[in-house]
Structure 1
Amino acid sequence: MARIPVLSYDRGTLLLHPPPRGKAWVDFATWDDRVEKFRIPASDYRPLVAALSAEGARFEDRAGAFVPLPLALEQALEPYPHQREALAAWCSAGHRGLVVLPTASGKTYLAQLAMQAVARSTLIAVPTLELMHQWYANLRTAFTQTAVGLLGGGSRDDSPILIATYDSAAIHAEALGCRYGLLVFDECHHLPGDFYRKVAEYAVAPYRLGLTATPERSDGRHSDLEALVGPVVYSRTPADLAGTALAPHRTERIKVRLSDDERRRHDAALAVRNAFLRTTNLSLGSAEGWQRFVQVSARSAEGRRAMLAHNQARAIALGTESKLRLLAELLERHWPEQTLIFTHDNATVYRISQDFLIPAITHQTAIKERHAILKAFRGGEYRTLVASQVLNEGVDVPEARVAIILSGTASPREYIQRLGRVLRKSSDPDKFAVLYEIYSEDTGEERASARRHAHTRPHHPKSDAAR
């Protein structure tokens, strides 16, 4: 009597043995001489099972160790319309795909609704330990009848709901791959990296949800997200949700002029850099061009002078005295409203902190000190806080009404993340948020701002004003 084919999980892949009748499985499989069996990528589990079933093939499925998990929310809040629409779109797409929503729009609660919808053991992957603990606290409160565990930061739990950092999930991807029916990827733009993508590729999970404010990556690998998680099934911008899920707001771009001395030094530095770019036939119009400039400039004294000149010109544009004078005006205008100041570099953070006597947070700030500063800001003891990129992602920033961006990158993600820091709705029905973006005229910073806004649609934007 012929043996029934068995589909099993093996260290991030599937084994199908003996080969079933029919041809449905052939396109998925590769022969492995080491074990003399056909091997199939674990992420093909769902389409493979569907193809075998459609063909009427008999087989025994031992691959998926995930279990049914009926979930009851401790407090079933009324979802916002965009949350209901996003959930419906995701369910209609076969419980796979990306939901693109701005910071502070309720992505965690959407994930809870998705977990209820599929009722399967769930793995949530997040980029930072701080986010891992935020998710843990939320899910412990939401699902009090179900065990919730952690993987990362010294924890290695075994539970039907597991929150893991991308690092830890990737390290243990082979062991985790068969245990969870639903994968939730928070800030899923991290997933396509060479190491993190294993979390998706080694998993049989038939249901997958990606959450992000902006899926785009500078290396173009965001196109891989469709294969790893699914297509974009729902997308909204801050402008779409202003006045409903998010506080009403306006954004204002203000350009400042370099002083005569700053302009002379800025242009002289750029002339040195540009001369090197011409002689080496390089262009900085793309991420690849910048990487090439970094590589080539390290090979000669002339190249190192060009890189130094580039950094000098950038430092002048980022830290012009005109910005600091305007910052003083804006702080006085909005006092005593809770205000966040963002810069790109730590040097400017510390200068502002010293000149304006404002508490600062950078990646160098100790965890306990960071928490103490954020607690004081949340309680109103501090009215203003200055930070670099450390608050862009993965930190629970207290509510604020005003954000001032003194410098940043051309990334739309960074802009949306910083805008999201002031968009959280509060108990005050009259809350109106303001974001100022200040950049130096006729510099690379102005061009970066233009590229960033070409990919975003701010709510009620004002025309640029020169200062």
Structure 2
Amino acid sequence: MVRVSTLTYNRGTLILHPPPKGKEWLDFATWDDRIEKFRIPGIYYRSLVETLQATETEFIDNAKEFMPLDLSPSVEMNPYPHQQEALLAWKKAGRKGVVVLPTASGKTYLAQLAMEATPRTTLIVVPTLDLLHQWYAQIEAAFPDIDVGLLGGGSKDRSAILIATYNSAAIHSEVLGNRYALVIFDECHHLPTDFFRRIAEDAIAPYRLGLTATPERTDGTHQHLDTLIGPIVYRKTPQDLSGQALAQHKVIQIKVKLSPKERETYDRAIKTRNDFLKETNISLSSLQGWQLFVQASARSAQGRRAMLAHREAKEIASGTDGKLRVLTELISQHYPEAILIFTNDNATVYRISQEFLIPAITHQTPVKERHDILKRFREGDYKILVTSHVLNEGVDVPDARIAIILSGTGSAREYVQRLGRVLRKGKTPDKLAILYEVITEDTSEERTSKRRRGAQEQQNPPEPPKHQQLELISFSEPKKRPKTPKAAESSTPWHPEEE
């Protein structure tokens, strides 16, 4: 008598034994001599199951531990049109893919809608502890009857809905991999790293949703999101949502000049750096070039002088006195409105904080102090905040209308994140947000800003996929369903109902 194949989960992989008939499933499998059985990476679970079902191969699925949930939200809100469109595009793509929306456009609520449409045990992965607690507060409020847990920051819960940091989820990926049918990757541009990608690779979750404002990475690994989560299924820019879900906004670029003394010191530092780069045949036009510069600077005294000169030039461009004079004028123009000031280095943050008597937040600011500063800013006790990179991502920043970037940033992601800090409509329906970008003329800072703006203008967002009926067994309603094995019929169904 032929034994029925059994599918089990083992530390991020699937074991299918005894081997079933047919060859189609072998595309996913690798023979393991140690156990004399076939192994399949966990990420191929959905494709493997669909293949076995399509060929009417009988098997017992003991791999999955996820289950249906009764997700009834305590409060229902009318979603914005872009949230409805994004949800529909994701569902039509088989509930796999990345949604690109600007900061403050309601990505968390979109995730809640995806959970309601796919009511199964869910893992939500976030990059920071601040986001961990923000997501926990919103999901617990949305589904008060469901056990919501945390993984990270000292918490190690086992719950139907689990919110974890990327670090903690990666550490425990082999244990979490078969418990959740839906995985939501917040700020999913963090995922394609050697350490974090194992979260997606070890998971058998058939449904995956990635959320980000800017998926592109300078190292090019954002291309791996197609495999780890799915392709981009929906995309909107701040300009697309201006005046609708987001406040209307305008960006004003202000250029300042170096003083004669600053110009002399800057040019001398740049020449020292460039002479070394030319001698070593290194170009700083790419991430690899910068890495080569760092490596070369550690090998000789000349290299160290070049790196010090590079830093000196950058500090002059970032902290020129001309920028502080412009900052004075902008504060005088907009005070007492709420104003956020961003810089690219902590030294400038502390200089502004001391000279203008403005509270500062950097990565060195203790958590309790940071929360107290943000609370006072929210309540209006503080009118202005200055920060470096801490408020770019993962912090619930109170409503403000004015943002000032005291340097040209080459990162499209950072630029969009900082713009997003003033795009919330707040309590003012006709709010006009203003982003000032203050850059130093005729410096590398100006050229960096031009490259970033050029990349944004050339970007051609992909169109949402056409709505087509999916021919997927156990994932949608096909026109004609092949015969389902008895073993599969007796197990808990894990496909969501089409709406």
Q: Secondary structure at the match of 2:455?
A: coil
The answer to whether the 8 A contact 2:151-2:162 is kept is: yes
User: 1:232-381 alignment to 2 at 5 Å?
Assistant: 232-381=232-381
* 1:23-74 CA-partner distances (Å, limit 9, x unpaired): 1111110000111100000000001111111111111111111001121111
The answer to whether the 8 A contact 2:408-2:438 is kept is: no
User: 1:90-169 alignment to 2 at 5 Å?
Assistant: 90-169=90-169
Q: How many residues in Structure 1 have an aligned counterpart in Structure 2?
A: 458
Q: Which residue of 2 aligns with 1:226?
A: 226
By how many angstroms is 1:253 displaced? 1.1
Q: Secondary structure at the match of 1:141?
A: helix
By how many angstroms is 1:430 displaced? 2.6
CA distance in structure 2 between the aligned counterparts of 1:299 and 1:313, rounded to whole angstroms: 21
Report the identity percentage: 65
By how many angstroms is 1:448 displaced? 1.1
CA distance in structure 2 between the aligned counterparts of 1:173 and 1:204, rounded to whole angstroms: 11
Q: Which residue of 1 aligns with 2:445?
A: 445
Q: Which residue of 2 aligns with 1:194?
A: 194
By how many angstroms is 1:128 displaced? 0.6
By how many angstroms is 1:432 displaced? 1.1
Corresponding letter in the other structure for 1:262: E
Over the residues paired in the alignment, what is the CA RMSD in angstroms?
Answer: 1.0
The answer to whether the 8 A contact 1:186-1:212 is kept is: yes
Q: Which residue of 1 aligns with 2:39?
A: 39
Q: Which residue of 1 aligns with 2:407?
A: 407
Q: Which residue of 1 aligns with 2:21?
A: 21
CA distance in structure 2 between the aligned counterparts of 1:46 and 1:430, rounded to whole angstroms: 47
TM-score (ref. length: structure 1): 0.97
CA distance in structure 2 between the aligned counterparts of 1:83 and 1:184, rounded to whole angstroms: 16
CA distance in structure 2 between the aligned counterparts of 1:121 and 1:451, rounded to whole angstroms: 43
By how many angstroms is 1:85 displaced? 0.3
By how many angstroms is 1:255 displaced? 1.2
Structure-2 change in CA distance of 1:408 and 1:449 (3 Å): closer
CA distance in structure 2 between the aligned counterparts of 1:313 and 1:391, rounded to whole angstroms: 25
> Which 5+ residue runs of structure 1 have no aligned equivalent?
459-467
CA distance in structure 2 between the aligned counterparts of 1:3 and 1:78, rounded to whole angstroms: 52
CA distance in structure 1 between the aligned counterparts of 2:232 and 2:454, rounded to whole angstroms: 20
Structure-2 change in CA distance of 1:297 and 1:274 (3 Å): same
CA distance in structure 2 between the aligned counterparts of 1:206 and 1:87, rounded to whole angstroms: 16
- Larger relative contact order (CA 8 Å, sep ≥ 6): 2
Q: Which residue of 2 aligns with 1:8?
A: 8
CA distance in structure 1 between the aligned counterparts of 2:63 and 2:454, rounded to whole angstroms: 46
CA distance in structure 2 between the aligned counterparts of 1:451 and 1:121, rounded to whole angstroms: 43
* 1:387-426 CA-partner distances (Å, limit 9, x unpaired): 0101111111100000000025311000000000000111
Q: Which residue of 1 aligns with 2:30?
A: 30
* 1:111-135 CA-partner distances (Å, limit 9, x unpaired): 0000011111000000011100000
Corresponding letter in the other structure for 2:442: D
Single out whichever of 224-233 and 49-58 deviates more from structure 2: 49-58
Q: Which residue of 2 aligns with 1:463?
A: none
Q: Which residue of 1 aligns with 2:454?
A: 454
Corresponding letter in the other structure for 1:335: Y
* 1:313-338 CA-partner distances (Å, limit 9, x unpaired): 11100011110000000011111110
* 1:282-332 CA-partner distances (Å, limit 9, x unpaired): 100001100100001110000000000000111100011110000000011
Q: Secondary structure at the match of 2:8?
A: strand
By how many angstroms is 1:181 displaced? 0.1
User: 1:26-105 alignment to 2 at 5 Å?
Assistant: 26-105=26-105
Structure-2 change in CA distance of 1:324 and 1:429 (3 Å): same
By how many angstroms is 1:381 displaced? 0.5
Q: Secondary structure at the match of 1:454?
A: helix
> Which 5+ residue runs of structure 2 have no aligned equivalent?
459-499
By how many angstroms is 1:249 displaced? 0.7
Q: Secondary structure at the match of 2:98?
A: strand
TM-score (ref. length: structure 2): 0.91
CA distance in structure 2 between the aligned counterparts of 1:147 and 1:456, rounded to whole angstroms: 42
Corresponding letter in the other structure for 1:25: W
The answer to whether the 8 A contact 1:343-1:408 is kept is: no
Q: Secondary structure at the match of 2:267?
A: helix
Corresponding letter in the other structure for 2:319: G
The answer to whether the 8 A contact 2:408-2:439 is kept is: no
